[in-house]
Each structure stands twice: as C-alpha cells, then as structure tokens.
C-alpha cells in the first residue's frame, strides 16, 4: 500500500506522493457533497475534467442492442463512454492499475502575461501531467485510489480515497488555485508585508511630484497574484440501512498580494495647481480559512432527517497595512505647515472572523393523506468578529488639520487605542431560518404545494466614533488627510463642522416567503406549472422598511415534443413596498447630538431610488428545447429574455434588458467520432439617471430644489454584447486519435451619457463654460480565441504518445486602463498626484506545444 500522505498547510510538501508515484487509469477524484462544501471538482487547465487524459473513447453504443446510442428522457444523447482498463492481479488478493503521464511543455509569446496565467500554470518545462493508482480487494471490498496532475505547479491537485465500498470512505485532497491579477511597477519597498516604505529617493510627506514620478517609473516590476492552497479530509460512513454520517475538514491558505487604493485626498485642481495624492498600494494576503462540517443523516422509506453542524474560522495574519505617504498633499488655502506631519497612512485589513451554523432538515411523507410530503428546515447561525481595533492615527507627532482655530488636532491625542470608544470590534450577526413545505397529490394529475419561509438577521454590532481623550465625537477622515487639505473636514464634530457619520449602522432585517404552486399533468408527457410567491423583506435602517415582491410563474414541460423536450416558463414579478425615506440615517450623524445645528445639506437626492429597494416590474421568459434531430445528432436551444421596468426617476430607470440566445449541437457521425458546436449571443442594457448638486448650496434635496437643480440632470446607458462560438471534433483513426477544439469569445461594452447642461452635469454649475463633454466612453472590448489540437497514438500496450498544441490570443480594451502609466500627466499640464502599480490587462498571443508520454499498467 502506498505511503501515507502528508497534508501540510503552507508549501504543500508532496514528496511522499511523488515517491509513491503509482499511477492508474481514470480514477475517482475525491468527491464532495452536492449539498455541503466546495471542491466538487479537482482539475486544472490541462485536465479540466479531472480525468485521465489518456482514456480512450469507446464507441457510440453504450447498450448491446442500441448500436446508434441512447438518449436520456429529455432527449439528450448519452456520451460515448471511455474505455477503462481492467485491473491487474497483485498480491494478497489486491488488484491494481496505474498510469502516469509526463510531458514537456514549451511555448512562446505571452506566457508571462497575467491574463494568460490568470488561473493556469502552463509555464515551459516538465510536467507530471497525470498520475493515478487504483487498487481494490474484492474479498473485503476495500479500495484505494490516488490521482493528480501537475505536481509542483501552481495548479496542481492530488486526490486520495481509501475505504470499503458501501461502507465508509476517507478522502483527502490538495488543490492549488492560482490567481494572477496584474502586473506593473512600484516604488514601494516591502511589497507583500504589512508595511510599505518609500525608496531612499523619497521622503514621507515631502516630495515634489517630479521626484515621485521618477521613482514610480524607476520602480521594480511587481506582479499581483493570490495563490489558494486548499487541502481537505472527508469521511463518510454508512452506519446501517438508515443512518450515515459525513464529516469534512478543509483548510485554505491564501498567499500573495492584491492591488488596493490608498488615498491621501483625491487629486483636486485649484487654479492650475493640484492638491491631494493617492497611491496604489500592495495589500498583503496571508490568510487561512478552516472549515469543518458534519452531517448526521437518517433515511427510511417515509422519513429523512439531516442534522448539520458547520464552523468556519477565517484568520488574517495582517491586521493592517501601513504605508509611507510620498505626497505633500497641500491645502485649499495655500501653504499648510501641518501637511508635513502626514507621514503615513494606515488601512485596516479584513478582520479575522468566525461563523457557526447548526441546521436540521426533515422530510416526511404520508402517502395515506393524498400522498402528502412535509419538509422542514430549521437553521441558526452566528458570525463573529472581535479583532482589536487600530488607533485612529498612525501618525504620532505634530499637529494635523490647518492652523485655523478649531480646525486642527494633535496627532498624539489620536495615535493611541486610548482614543477609541471601545478597544475591539465586538461585532456579531445572528441568523435564523425556518422553512416549511407541504405537498399533496389530490388527484393523479395534480400536485399542489405550499411553502412558508422565514429568515431573520440580527446585527448586534455597534460602534461610536468618540475619542475619550479629547472628548470629541468623530474620526480622522482619510487618516487626517481630508482635514489637512480642507478646513473643518477632518471628520471631527464641532460647531463649525457639525455633519459627520459617527455611529455604525447595524443593517439587518427579516424575510418572509409564502408560496403556493400546482403542477397539472395535462398529458402523460406534458405538465403545466403555476406558482404564486410573495416575498416580504423588512429592513432596519434602510430607506424602505418593507418591500414586497409578488411573483407569478407559469411553466410548461413537454417531454413529448416529437423526440425532444420543451421546457418553458414565464415569470412576472412586481416589487413595491412602504414609503421610501431618502434619509433614514439621521440618528447616526452628529447632527443628532444635543445642541448640534443641522447645516441643511441634504443627505442625497430625494427622488433617487436605490435599485435593491426600488419599485420594479420584471418579466422573464425562459425557453429550452432539447431535440435529437437524428439518431446521432442532438441539438439544444435556450433563450432567456428579461425585462425590468424600473419605477424610479433616478437611480436605475426605464427598462433594463437582458437577453440570451444559445444554440448547441452534438454529433456522433460514426464510432469513435464526435463533434460539437455551440453559439451564444447575449445583450444587456441598463439605464440610470442622477443629478449633480449645485456646489455650496443648502436646502431641500428634491429634484428642482436649490441643491439638485433641474439643469444638472444627466443619464448614462450601459450596453453589453457578447458572442461565444465553440467547435470541437474528435476522431479515432487506425493510427491514433485526433482531437481539435476552438472557442471564440467577443464582447463589447458601451457606456454612453447625456445631459441637459454640460456645466450643470459636470460641475454642478449650470451655464459654466466647459470643454465638449462628448456623449460616450470608448467601447470596452474583449476578444479571446483559442485553438487546441492533440493527437494521441498508442505505441505499445503500455505506452502511448500524446502531442498537444494550443494557440491562444486575447485582445482587450478597457478605458479604465487605457493610457495609464505609473504617474500621469494631467491634461492641463503638470503631474496628477496619483500613482499606479497595476496598469491593467494587456493583450497576448501564446503558442504552446506539449509532448506527453503515458505509461499504463
């Protein structure tokens, strides 16, 4: 038997596996549960199905008396089955089989392009592209399997299973998921750690933009990537005819870095000069998630019961990211001696947290009561986070703000956890769910069902921004930068600065669903479905206390559409609710404090409706047809049309359209030959409207009022179009097997805009002289073509050769990144005080060749 497998967390060491290196035929990878957990597929770019790539395809007949193949009840043709090699006799009653495939990859072109490497490792070099070993002993039904691919590469996986058929199984796996995000240059030192420092050419808080630009352009190359190393153990045991247990533990280690923004005030033009400064930062990723779940399961002919417990513990090794600020951010009133004290910025990174869930599920049938069946699910959960909070300021000395009475502060009073109203987050959210279902069959052709579902979320998290040292409510906005650039905008409540969000909002609520539905079997193969569902959502602290969504759905299933099947449905959904309050948050702002004077600045445009709460009417039509047009050809078509009519003047407006048309065909022209083709077309359209506010005005927040002038209205239209084409052909010749596939994806995304008054829309000042605004952004586009061809030939009963070639090209245009450099020159001249590391996705063309030799036994 093979050596035991080590499952470390970091830098997964696979030496024992490599030493064992037994290999076998297409074998079962560790199988996850369809109800619990992820990792249901272990594969990679080279082996996307997780199966032995060397398995030969059988002929088209899966049945002795149906040489042309068979179809599923829907009319889908059963695929040719792969030919699995028989096991060989070993010792002590064991039989075994193994296979190993090693290969050499070589390629050119954009192999280093982050987009090409996003989720795959196809670097040049040797590859253990597949290995598997299977053993079983019939006498006691024991079995063992081990399989994997690309050991030592960033997309490796290994799966192991040991058990006794129909009794128990123990599974273990490792799975590495690469995620390359982007690349560029950075002047920061310490990338990947929780402290970013400036190079020797720059001093914190005191550099010219020219010096920063020089450092940015001379910075070291940097690639953002996050590697997920996942490992897990699963145990399943069939205790007896009724009881079984399932338990799983998985751990994921994520390492790497991601780009994130670090603002010290946004770049602001003031009479030809620019203040502010934002640096793109490097977020360190050193995180672990432990997931434990267990299910106790009971089933007999009438009653089934599950008891499920799960726990998830997330740990982040970095509580914060501190960076040295290269910018002298300036101020709106000219020289400010306090800007020199803004040496650093500090970001609180995602906190470690835990979640626990307990769930019970019951299903009971009472055939005597009109074939009744009752289902119930009860669940309770809790999410916790109690990390120590950071001090409000990472800058410790000198004054911040501006040298104006009431507009400054002493950093020392904020650079300590004594400046907090509480030392830790003490955040908690409790969830609960009760889901009840009943179904009856009062007549052979009629099934009726009722459902009642109640879920509740209670947020017990509370925080007040208050400094006990100074006795002030508030915080340091942008770590002090905002109040250093603009007087009385520091985030600290004062009579001159009365409007700040100072208390956290514990968003929570409840949801109730009530549903009635009926299925009427019109004919032996035709069923009509009708359902009505009402969903009420009650929210605390949102603009709408209650929304209700009424949904009516009509469905038709015809499995006798000739030899095929039609499934169609139409759903109408209408959402409304209680009155919309555009500002329900007053109690969380300092204007609610005793003695505070409301400055009269509206919270938002009163008529704007947030789309998750807004009235809307939705129509969704789905039609799916699967049809075998001949014994060896089946075609499928799926169409979805969705229209959403938004009942709002601002926010999402007018009609949202989402359309999708899909066709596919599968053809088995002869034994050992298969072909497929698919074509998809999608288009989406969103429209929205907003109003720019007139700068410096106060008053009512209604459209047409003093703040949101009618001339300042603008709209935007987002239109997406996507086309996908795929073709494939596989044929077994006498001299080998050829397999060719090609995919083409093309998408275009347009964003247009319109306005009444350009000055009003852009600046908030109607009639202001501005340059021509145009009416659209350049279209974003994405094209990717991939062609892959392989040829496999058996050289001997144990040896086969596989040649593989792949060509892939990608082109992309995204105006978010077009023309982006580490530091930009402003269109009006001078440098923009903003630095970037990730300069966005770029096109690539890559050609790869692989030669693989597979040995089987």
Partner 1 sequence: MTSSRNASLTWWPLRAPWRVAAALWLALVVSPAVAQPAAGAPPPPATYVGEKACTNCHAKEGQNFAHTRHFKAFRLNPRNAQEQQVCEACHGPGSRHVQNATDHGALIGFTREWGTPVSVQNNQCLGCHQGGQRIRWAGSVHERVDLACSDCHNPMGKASATGLLRKPSISETCYSCHQQQRADFRKRSHMPLPEGKMSCEDCHNPHGSSTAPLLKANSTNELCYTCHAEKRGPYLWEHAPVRENCLNCHTPHGSNHDKLLVVSRPVLCQQCHSSTRHPNDLFTAQQLPGGAVENINERLLARSCQNCHTQIHGSNSPNGVRFHR
Rule CB under 8 A: which of 734-753 touch partner 1? Answer: 743, 745, 747-749, 751, 753
CB of 367 to partner 1, least distance (A): 12
Toward partner 1, which CB reaches closer, 201 or 417? 417
- Would you count residue 314 as binding partner 1 (CB under 8 A)? yes
Look at residues 137, 127, 163 and name the one whose alpha carbon lies nearest to residue 30: 163
Residues between 82 and 111 that touch partner 1 (CB under 8 A): 82, 84
- Binding-site string for partner 1 from residue 378 to residue 397, where x marks contact by CB under 8 A and - marks none: -x-x-xxx-x-xxxx-----
CA distances to 27, 322, 335, 378 from 487, rounded to whole Å, are 68, 25, 13, 54
Smallest distance, partner 1 to C-beta of residue 501, A: 5
Quick one: which H or E segment has residue 71? none
Q: In angstroms, what is the minimal distance from the CB of 11 to partner 1? A: 19
Among the listed residues 26, 13, 52, the one whose alpha carbon sits nearest the alpha carbon of residue 176: 13
Cα 402 to Cα 388: distance, rounded to the nearest angstrom: 30
| Closest distance to partner 1 from the beta carbon of 749 (Å) | 5
Beta-carbon neighbour count of residue 52 at 10 Å?
25
Q: In the window 6-35, what residues touch partner 1 (CB under 8 A)?
A: 26-35
Q: Could you say which of 186, 408, 648, 856 contacts partner 1 (CB under 8 A)?
A: 648
Q: Measure the CA–CA gap between 279 and 477, rounded to whole angstroms.
A: 16
* Site for partner 1, residues 247 to 266, rule: CB under 8 A: 252, 259-263, 266
Q: Which is nearer to partner 1, 54 or 267 (CB)?
A: 267
Check binding of 491 to partner 1 (CB under 8 A). yes
What part of residues 582-641 is at the interface with partner 1 (CB under 8 A)?
601-605, 608, 610-612, 617, 619, 621, 624, 626, 636, 638, 640
Decide whether 343 or 707 has the Cβ nearer to partner 1: 707
Q: What is the smallest separation between the CB atom of 828 and partner 1, expressed in angstroms?
A: 5
Query: Any contact of residue 61 with partner 1 (CB under 8 A)?
Result: yes
The nearest distance, CB 200 to partner 1, in angstroms, is 27
Instruction: State which residue, 19 or 845, has the beta carbon closest to partner 1.
Output: 845
Ranges within 68-87 binding partner 1 (CB under 8 A): 70-76, 78-79, 81-82, 84
CB atoms within 10 A of CB 726: 16
Give the nearer residue to partner 1 in terms of CB position, either 651 or 850: 651
581 binds partner 1 (CB under 8 A): no
CB of 85 closer than 8 Å to CB of 25: yes
* 622 strand-pairing partners: 569, 640
For residue 218, what are its two tokens? Answer: 């001379």
Tokens of 527: 């069923």
DSSP 580-649: B-S---GGGBGGGSTT-------SS-TTEE-TTTS-EEEEEEEEEEEEEEETTEEEEEEEEEEEEEE--S
Q: Are 725 and 737 in contact (CB under 8 A)?
A: no
Tell me the backbone φ, ψ of residue 352, rounded to 5 degrees. -60, 145
Count of C-beta atoms within a 10 Å radius of residue 169? 21
Query: With CB under 8 A as the contact rule, which of the stretches 105-113, 123-131, 336-344, 562-570 interacts with partner 1?
Result: 562-570
According to the binding rule CB under 8 A, does residue 60 interact with partner 1? Answer: no
Shortest Å, Cβ 600 to partner 1: 11
**Rounded to 5 degrees, what angle do the CA atoms 653, 655, 661 make?**
140
Output 205 or 483, the one with its CB closest to partner 1: 483
Report the residue from 99, 186, 207, 278 that binds partner 1 according to the rule CB under 8 A: 278
Chain Cα centroid distance, residue 404: 47
Q: Between 405 and 695, name the residue whose CB sits nearer to partner 1.
A: 695
Q: Which is nearer to partner 1, 3 or 768 (CB)?
A: 768
State which residue, 19 or 317, has the beta carbon closest to partner 1.
317
Instruction: Enumerate residues 6+ apart whose C-beta is below 8 A from 630.
Output: none
Residue with tokens 């994405």: 782
- Among the residues of 218-362, which ranges form H helices? none
- Return the number of the residue (682 or 847) whose C-beta is nearest partner 1: 682
- Is the Cβ of residue 205 or residue 636 nearer to partner 1 in the bound state? 636
The contact pattern for partner 1, residues 332-371, with x = CB under 8 A and - = no contact, is: -------------xxxxxxx-x-x-x-x-x-x--------
C-alpha–C-alpha distance, residues 561 and 556, integer Å: 12
**Of these, 130, 162, 493, 650, which contacts partner 1 (CB under 8 A)?**
650
Among 22, 151, 407, 558, binds partner 1 (CB under 8 A): 558
* Cβ-based neighbours of 128, under 8 Å, separated by 6 or more: 18, 100, 101, 102, 149, 150, 151, 152
Ranges within 179-208 binding partner 1 (CB under 8 A): 179
Among the listed residues 651, 672, 705, 850, the single contact to partner 1 using CB under 8 A:
651
Closest CA to 752 of 772, 735, 774: 774
Query: Binding partner 1 by CB under 8 A: which of 193, 662, 785, 842?
Result: 662
Q: Which stretch binds partner 1 (CB under 8 A): 203-211, 329-337, 780-788, 797-805?
A: 780-788
Q: CA–CA separation, 90 vs 95, rounded Å?
A: 5
Tokens of 408: 């400054």
Q: Is the dihedral of CA 105, 106, 107, 111 positive or negative?
A: positive
- Report, in angstroms and rounded to the nearest whole number, the Rg of the chain calculated over CA atoms: 32
Identify the residue among 98, 407, 485, 834 touching partner 1 (CB under 8 A). Answer: 834
Specify the residue, 791 or 815, whose C-beta has the smaller distance to partner 1. Answer: 815
- By beta-carbon proximity to partner 1, the closer residue of 201 and 821 is 821
Number of chain positions touching partner 1 (CB under 8 A): 267
> 729 forms bridges with which residues in the sheet?
675, 740
Report helix, strand or coil for 412.
helix
- The residue range among 13-21, 171-179, 191-199, 727-735 that interacts with partner 1, by the rule CB under 8 A, is 171-179
Q: Which of 4, 8, 119, 532 binds partner 1 (CB under 8 A)?
A: 119
Residue in 91, 89, 67 with CA at minimum distance from that of residue 80 = 67
* Choice from 235, 520, 729, 777 touching partner 1 (CB under 8 A): 777
CA distance 372 to 731: 51
From 88-96, 186-194, 322-330, 811-819, span contacting partner 1 (CB under 8 A): 811-819
- Residues 416-475 binding partner 1 (CB under 8 A) are 420, 425, 427-429, 431, 433, 435, 437, 439, 449, 453, 455, 459, 461, 463, 465, 475
Q: Provide, rounded to whole angstroms, the least separation between the CB of residue 321 and partner 1.
A: 10
Residue nearer to partner 1 on the CB measure, 15 or 390: 390
Query: Measuring CA to CA, how many Å separate 769 from each of 681, 693, 759, 765, 773?
Result: 43, 17, 6, 9, 11
**Strand blocks (E) in 692-757:** 713-733, 736-755
Residues in region 671-730 near partner 1 by CB under 8 A: 678, 680, 682, 686, 688-693, 695, 707-708, 713-716, 718, 720, 722, 724, 726
Please pick, from the candidates 101, 136, 286, 739, the single residue that binds partner 1 as defined by CB under 8 A.
136
Interaction with partner 1 in 508-547: which residues (CB under 8 A)? 508-509, 517, 519, 522-527, 529, 539, 541-542
Please enumerate in sequence order all residues whose Cβ is within 8 A of that of 178, keeping only pairs 6 or more positions apart, or say none. 117, 118, 119, 120, 121, 154, 155, 225, 227, 228
With CA atoms as reference, report the closest residue to 30 among 168, 164, 153, 174. Answer: 174
Question: To the nearest whole angstrom, how small is the minimum distance from the Cβ of residue 219 to partner 1?
Answer: 16
Residue from 7, 17, 20, 51 touching partner 1 (CB under 8 A): that is 51
């Amino acid at each position: 038997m093979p050596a035991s497998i080590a499952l470390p967390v970091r830098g997964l060491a696979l030496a024992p596996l490599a030493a064992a290196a037994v290999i076998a035929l297409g074998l079962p990878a560790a199988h996850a549960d369809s109800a619990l957990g992820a990792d249901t597929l272990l594969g990679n770019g080279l082996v996307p199905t997780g199966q032995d790539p060397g398995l030969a395809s059988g002929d088209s007949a899966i049945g002795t008396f149906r040489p042309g193949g068979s179809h599923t009840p829907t009319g889908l043709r059963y695929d040719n089955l792969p030919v699995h090699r028989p096991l060989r006799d070993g010792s002590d009653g064991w039989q075994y089989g193994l296979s190993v495939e090693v290969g050499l990859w070589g390629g050119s072109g954009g192999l280093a392009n982050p987009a090409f490497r996003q989720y795959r490792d196809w670097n040049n070099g040797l590859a253990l592209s597949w290995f598997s070993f299977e053993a079983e002993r019939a006498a006691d039904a024991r079995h063992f399997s081990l399989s994997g691919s690309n050991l030592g590469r960033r997309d490796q996986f290994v799966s192991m299973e040991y058990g006794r058929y129909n009794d128990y199984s123990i599974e273990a796996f490792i799975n590495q998921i690469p995620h390359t995000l982007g690349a560029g240059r950075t002047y920061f030192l310490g990338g990947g750690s929780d402290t970013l420092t400036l190079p020797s050419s720059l001093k914190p808080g005191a550099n010219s933009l020219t010096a920063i630009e020089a450092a940015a352009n001379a910075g070291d190359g940097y690639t953002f990537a996050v590697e997920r190393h996942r490992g897990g153990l699963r145990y399943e045991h069939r205790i007896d005819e009724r009881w079984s247990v399932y338990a799983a533990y998985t751990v994921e280690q994520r390492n790497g870095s991601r780009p994130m923004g670090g603002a010290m005030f946004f770049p602001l033009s003031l009479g030809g000069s620019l203040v502010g400064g934002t640096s793109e930062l490097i977020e360190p990723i050193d995180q672990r998630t432990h997931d434990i779940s267990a299910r106790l399961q009971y089933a007999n002919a009438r009653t089934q019961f599950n008891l499920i417990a799960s726990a998830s513990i997330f740990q982040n090794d970095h509580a914060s990211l501190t960076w040295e600020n290269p910018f002298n951010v300036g101020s709106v009133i000219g020289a400010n001696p306090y800007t020199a004290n803004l040496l650093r910025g500090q970001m609180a990174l995602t906190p470690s947290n835990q979640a626990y869930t307990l769930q019970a599920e019951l299903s009971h049938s009472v055939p005597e009561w009109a074939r009744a069946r009752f289902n119930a699910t009860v669940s309770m959960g809790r999410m916790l986070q109690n990390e120590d909070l950071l001090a409000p300021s990472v800058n410790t000395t000198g004054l911040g703000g501006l040298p104006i009475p009431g507009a400054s502060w002493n950093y020392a009073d904020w650079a300590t956890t004594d400046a907090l109203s509480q030392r830790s987050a003490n955040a908690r959210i409790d969830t609960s769910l009760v889901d009840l279902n009943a179904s009856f069959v009062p007549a052979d052709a009629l099934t009726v069902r009722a459902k009642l579902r109640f879920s509740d979320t209670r947020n017990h998290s509370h925080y007040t921004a208050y400094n006990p040292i100074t006795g002030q409510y508030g915080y340091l906005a942008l770590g002090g930068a905002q109040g250093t650039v603009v007087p009385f905008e520091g985030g600290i409540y004062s009579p001159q600065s009365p409007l700040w969000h100072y208390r956290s909002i514990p968003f929570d609520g409840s949801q109730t669903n009530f549903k009635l539905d009926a299925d009427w079997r019109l004919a032996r193969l035709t069923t009509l479905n009708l359902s009505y569902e009402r969903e009420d959502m009650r929210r605390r602290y949102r603009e709408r206390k209650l929304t209700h969504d009424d949904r009516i759905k009509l469905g038709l299933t015809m499995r006798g559409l000739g030899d095929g099947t039609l499934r169609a449905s139409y759903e109408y959904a209408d959402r409304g609710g209680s009155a919309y309050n555009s500002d329900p948050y007053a109690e969380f702002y300092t204007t609610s404090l005793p003695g505070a004077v409301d400055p009269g600045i509206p919270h938002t445009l009163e008529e704007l409706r947030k789309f998750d709460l807004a009235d809307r009417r939705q129509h969704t039509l789905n039609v799916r047809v699967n049809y075998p047009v001949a014994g060896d050809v089946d075609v499928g078509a799926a169409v979805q049309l969705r229209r959403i009519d938004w009942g709002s003047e601002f926010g999402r407006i007018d009609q949202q359209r989402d359309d999708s048309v899909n066709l596919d065909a599968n053809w088995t022209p002869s034994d050992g030959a298969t072909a497929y083709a698919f074509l998809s077309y999608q288009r989406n359209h969103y429209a929205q409207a907003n109003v720019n506010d007139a700068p410096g005005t106060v008053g009512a927040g209604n459209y047409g009022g003093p703040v949101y002038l009618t001339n300042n209205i603008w709209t935007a239209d987002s239109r997406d179009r996507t086309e996908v084409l795929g073709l494939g052909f596989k044929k077994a010749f006498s001299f080998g097997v050829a397999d060719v596939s090609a995919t083409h994806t093309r998408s275009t995304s347009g964003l247009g805009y319109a306005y009444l008054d350009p000055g009003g829309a852009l600046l908030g000042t109607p009639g202001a002289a501005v340059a021509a605004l145009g009416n659209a952004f350049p279209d974003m586009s994405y094209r990717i073509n991939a062609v892959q061809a392989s040829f496999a030939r058996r050289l001997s009963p144990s040896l086969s050769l596989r040649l593989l070639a792949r060509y892939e090209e990608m082109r992309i245009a995204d105006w978010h990144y077009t023309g982006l450099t580490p530091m930009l020159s402003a269109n009006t001249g001078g440098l923009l005080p903003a630095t970037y590391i990730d300069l966005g996705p770029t096109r690539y063309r890559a050609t790869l060749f692989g030669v693989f030799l597979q040995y089987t036994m």
